[in-house]
Structures are given as structure tokens and as C-alpha cells.
Amino acid sequence: MIRQWEEVRLSSFRFIHAADLHLDSPLLGLAGKSAEFAARVQAASREAFDNLVALAIEEQCRFMLLAGDIFDGELRNFQTGLYFLDGMRRLGEAGIDVFMVLGNHDSANRFADKLALTGNVHLFPKAKAGSKMLDDVGAVIHGRSFPRWDMDEDMARDYPAAVSAMFNIGLLHTACAGSEGPHARYAPCTLEQLVNHGYDYWALGHVHAHVC
């Protein structure tokens, strides 16, 4: 059930939640089908990223949430990082803030946390969960980046308490119990645990499927 104040808050701003972009991932299994298909696959992640940026601008979103694995762990091409920064710049020019955490693939990538991010981008720290207040829309975003690629601890339990009278969002890269599938059990937690934390919205990443 949504309380009346939440209805007011939700009608006053828009945001986009995305995760696991894996920019420039070779997607070798798919690319092996044919040369033509390989060419399409090679450009797929950048095309999806461009569409994501365009959608946020078109819908006049207040902010974008990126829940980890923006990059692919084994990639070493700094041009991929520059391509990402250009997208962040375009969002900034449209007045859209970006809040992001590093996932397991990002933490395994040597340049993911060394990029000179544009002023509209907030990268949550690795040491402990932090919060970012958006007083203009009555929202607060909580998040924490992976301190290492093989993070096997429950990160969600140490997220800050919900802020009263604000729309609380948790930004988390996690293998939520019951939805992991073939994905590694990094930063495991449970759905019940997330619900009981008292946030209004959890923006999850890692498991490439919808969790409800």
C-alpha cells in the first residue's frame, strides 16, 4: 500500500534504474553464430547504453540509478570508459544526476574506479554504505560499491536506516536469495531482509532478471 505522501512524491519526479550494462562485452557465445551476427553483437551494448541515455533525457528524468557491472571485468580498453563518460556528460547537460555502485565485474576492472567522473555522477564508496539526499524531490539514495570482485558478505544489512518522510532508495549489486540462477552468490541477501529494511524501492543489479 502506498501512503498519500508517497503518491505525491512519486508524481513529482521520474528516474531510470538500470544495471549490468557490461559495456563492450565480447559476448563470445552469441557472437560465434555468424560474422554478421557478431558485428551486431559487438555494437549491442553501446546501442543499448545510448538508448538508455536518450530515454532518460526524453522522459526528463530527475536521475538515473546504475546498480553495478557497468563494465566487463576482463576489458582493458580505456576507450570504453571514455564512451561511458560521454554518456554521463550528455545526461549532465540535460540536468540529470546519476547515482551508481561498482559491481563484481567493475571491481575486477582496472580502470572502472579511476575514471574522472562528470559532476552530475555520484559513485558510492567501497568502505561502507553512504547516502545522498535529494531535497528537491524528497528522496534519499543509499548505496555501496563492491570493495573487491569476490564480495561474499551481506552488504545490505549495513545499509543506513530509512530516513523518515523521504522516499528511500537502496542501490545494491547482489545475489538476492532465490533469484541467483547461474550467477555467483556475491553480496548475498534475502528478499525478506530487503523488505524489512523499510526502503520504498530497491534498485538491484547482478542477477539478469526481474525480482519481485
CA-atom Rg of the chain in angstroms: 17
Residue 189 lies in a domain: yes
Domain assignment present for residue 212? The answer is no
Query: How many domains are there within the chain?
Result: 1
Instruction: Look at residue 54 in the predicted model and tell me its pLDDT.
Output: 97
78-113, pLDDT tens digit by residue? 788 889 999 999 999 999 999 999 887 667 666 766
DSSP strand E in the chain: where?
15-18, 63-67, 97-101, 121-123, 130-134, 139-143, 167-174, 201-206
| Phi, psi values for residue 120, rounded to 5° | -85, 0
The single-letter DSSP state of residue 200 is: S
CB 117 within 8 A of CB 147: no
Mean of the per-residue pLDDT values of the chain? 80
Residue 211 lies in a domain: no
Q: Please, how many CA atoms are within 13 Å of residue 15, restricted to the half-sphere of its CB?
A: 25
C-alpha cell read off for 112: 572502472
Q: The domain containing residue 40 runs over which residues?
A: 4-206
Burial 36-65 (b: 16+ CB within 10 A, else e): eeeeebeebbbeebeebbeebeeeebbbbb
Amino acid 60 reads Q
CATH code for the domain of 105: 3.60.21.10
Query: How far apart are alpha carbons 189 and 93 in whole angstroms?
Result: 36
pTM score:
0.81
Q: Count H helices, E strands: the chain?
A: 6, 8
pLDDT band at 129 (very low <50, low <70, confident <90, very high): very high
Is 133 within the bounds of a domain? yes
CA dist 117 and 95 (Å) reads 15
The fraction of the chain above a pLDDT of 90, given in percent, is: 42
> Who wins on pLDDT, 156 or 13?
13
Q: Does residue 111 lie within any of the structural domains?
A: yes
Residue 75 in 3-state DSSP? coil
Residue 156 cell numbers, joined: 545490505
In a domain, 139, yes or no: yes
Q: Is residue 114 part of a domain?
A: yes
Mean pLDDT across 41-70: 90
Selection from 120, 128, 118, 123 nearest residue 63 by Cα: 120
